[in-house]
Structure 1
Amino acid sequence: MPDDLCGPLTDFIRHLASEKRHSPRTCDSYQRDLLRLARWVAVSGLPAWQRVTNHDLRRYVATLSREGLSGRSIARHLSATRRFYQFLLREKLASDNPALDIRAPKSGRHLPRVADVDQLSHLLDSQPDDPLEVRDLCMFELMYSSGLRLAELASLDLDTVDLRSGEVRVLGKGGKERLLPVGKKAVEAIQAWLPQRTGLASEGESALFVSQRGERLSHRSVQARLSRWGITRGADQKLHPHLLRHSFASHMLESSGDLRAVQELLGHADIATTQVYTHLDFQHLARVYDQSHPRARRDKYHGRNKDENSSGQ
């Protein structure tokens, strides 16, 4: 690879590490993406970064797409490229930023996997064998009952749960608080866990879920315990926290068809995000539209008039 390509790239990575104080992991990510671009530029016969044009980068994006990179990965490559050219402009090694107005192709949004209702019921009906499994069952019941994110579950304190009213107060993304219902099974699981917690929690610890050492349970521990629960109980797929959240959303939508209500429960700012969790087909959405929109209603009166008019012709 020509020095005219390697030198500025090395300087940029050094700039990220020393001036911007990015972590080694972040610097490695930038370097990996930009080295891929540098190899492509060299193969394309462009000996220096200032020779790269907007058209060249569009060809590069097309190449990445053909090689199977997702839209999100290509967007990351373009972000690194834009940042690199900002540095080159500052160092007077380029006259413009050819990546500025290039956008990555959109990736298709896939429905997440969910657990079958009967399978989840079987897994959650399993009896715990020790105090830690009493805690685990309580966590999983609460996640599935209220559609909690992993971070939301781990951050719960004793005073955020009201067993009398069956509610839990959650601090979601962006620091937004929401009040969620807690189902009967989850309330029973919390009632079973609280006496066990008393014997484990360190003095002054406010966390609802604590480790064997008495401290707030970490995200990684929740993930590991859920995976272990699935293995020991014979689940036919790997269990993870978001699977319970996906399943909550999907099962609620299948039963109610109320997208707005599930949006509120999940704490989504945009209803389009909620739609990713659904398994609703177009026919169902069309029926909701026909029944709800004032300009789309087809009531019996209109249908009868249409039939009568047709028969009179």
Structure 2
Amino acid sequence: MVPLVGFSDHLTSEKRHSLRTCEHYLRDLQRLVGWLTEAGIRQWAQVTSHDIRRYVATLSKEGLGGRSIARHLSSIRRFYQFLLREGVAQDNPALDIHAPKSGRRLPKVADVDQLNQLLEVNPDDPLEIRDLAMFELMYSSGLRLSELAGLNLDALDLAGGEVRVLGKGNKERVLPVGIKATGAVRRWLECRVEFVADGEPAMFVSQRGNRLSRRSIQARLARWGTMQGADQRMHPHMLRHSFASHMLESSGDLRAVQELLGHADITTTQVYTHLDFQHLARVYDQSHPRARRRTDAKASGSDRDLADL
């Protein structure tokens, strides 16, 4: 097997993919290498579409869902595009192979009351002031975890109520920041000087003055949720999902929500229309005078259908 180092260099230097994206590609391909080696296949040019179908079947038997298998196939297709360019392979065996369909999982969201309970606090501890600023900003602007962790001081215009973030594919977008979030960030900036030396660009830092890692942000939000009595485990993407769902409920403007989230394809954003429909359906069932009998009669089937979306 040809080493994967050349492909990794191709992703970072030519395609400008992030380190995390490259790690995902290589992890998927290393899993394929292990399977091919066990199958006695030693050269990339020997791999056929039949082999890739067998590999997909193996992944499915091992419990991977349709979306995960689709990601593996995407990695393989991208790798073979590179091999074709390098003259190592003559065709792309994964080109016309599709992952099995699986039920679409809806993202978990917190309702407005839950988020108010989570964020309507006034901490005195500097690290908790930092945490509140992070979580207010994520919910206010719908930031990804990586976008929040990578945020620098010069990205925020508190007077103008804007934040500039670098999203997937190194695409930059400017987002509005609400008054609650700007207030929380101002409080954190007053505390931040206790932890950092001049020249540190990161907006959110640890006790040691280093940029706060994604893992640390996840752990702090989980801890925050426990402290505030949240009835479900809190994680950063839940704040982003909640932002999207609440924006769509209020505005009904799918295109605007797509722009705010930084989705390249509107079909990615359309998952939130299902969440919006669930909210409307609950209101209908609770409010319409002739709805309750229908709901009672079909409750179990209705719940099952929503779970399978």
Provide TM-score, normalisation by structure 2.
0.69
2:262 to 261, 267, 278: 267
1:159 aligns with 2:154: yes
- Quote the Cα distance in structure 2 between the aligned partners of 1:180 and 1:24: 29
8 Å contact from structure 1 (residues 147, 248) kept in 2: yes
8 Å contact from structure 1 (residues 82, 99) kept in 2: no
Match of 1:147 in 2: 142
1:126 aligns with 2:116: no
1:183 aligns with 2:178: yes
2:203 to 192, 203, 208: 208
Match of 2:251 in 1: 256
1:222 aligns with 2:209: no
1:195 to 182, 190, 197: 190
Structure 1 residue 106 displacement after superposition: 3.9
- Quote the Cα distance in structure 2 between the aligned partners of 1:31 and 1:187: 44
Structure 1 residue 199 displacement after superposition: 2.1
Which region of structure 1 is more displaced relative to structure 2, 163-172 or 135-144? Answer: 163-172
Structure 1 residue 109 displacement after superposition: 3.0
The count of corresponding residues between Structure 1 and Structure 2 is 263
Structure-to-structure mapping, 1:263-302, within 5 angstroms: 263-278=258-273, 279-281=275-277
Structure 1 residue 272 displacement after superposition: 1.1
Deviations 1:218-241 (A, max 9, x none): 222212211111122221222111
Query: Residues 68 and 225 of structure 1: is their aligned pair in 2 closer, same or farther, counting only changes over 3 Å?
Result: closer
- Amino acid corresponding to residue 281 of structure 1 in structure 2: F
Q: Which has the larger radius of gyration?
A: 1
- Quote the Cα distance in structure 2 between the aligned partners of 1:82 and 1:103: 14
Larger RCO: 1 or 2 (CA < 8 Å, sep 6+): 2
- Quote the Cα distance in structure 2 between the aligned partners of 1:191 and 1:51: 60
Query: Residues 260 and 229 of structure 1: is their aligned pair in 2 closer, same or farther, counting only changes over 3 Å?
Result: same
Deviations 1:36-63 (A, max 9, x none): 5676x69xxx9xx999975575466456
8 Å contact from structure 2 (residues 28, 72) kept in 1: no
Provide TM-score, normalisation by structure 1.
0.68
2:239 to 233, 236, 244: 244
2:66 to 56, 65, 71: 71
8 Å contact from structure 1 (residues 143, 153) kept in 2: yes
8 Å contact from structure 2 (residues 146, 214) kept in 1: yes
Structure-to-structure mapping, 1:85-124, within 5 angstroms: 99-124=94-119
Identical-pair percentage: 64
- Quote the Cα distance in structure 2 between the aligned partners of 1:30 and 1:202: 42
Deviations 1:127-152 (A, max 9, x none): 32401100110110011011111122
- Amino acid corresponding to residue 253 of structure 2 in structure 1: D
8 Å contact from structure 1 (residues 16, 27) kept in 2: no
Structure 1 residue 253 displacement after superposition: 0.7
Structure 1 residue 184 displacement after superposition: 1.4
1:235 aligns with 2:222: no
8 Å contact from structure 2 (residues 141, 243) kept in 1: yes
Unaligned runs of 5+ in 2: 10-21, 281-309
SS of 2:255 mapped into structure 1: helix
Match of 1:287 in 2: none
RMSD: 3.9
Query: Residues 28 and 77 of structure 1: is their aligned pair in 2 closer, same or farther, counting only changes over 3 Å?
Result: closer
- Quote the Cα distance in structure 2 between the aligned partners of 1:35 and 1:200: 46
Match of 2:3 in 1: 16
- Amino acid corresponding to residue 172 of structure 1 in structure 2: G
Query: Residues 197 and 37 of structure 1: is their aligned pair in 2 closer, same or farther, counting only changes over 3 Å?
Result: same
Query: Residues 60 and 28 of structure 1: is their aligned pair in 2 closer, same or farther, counting only changes over 3 Å?
Result: closer
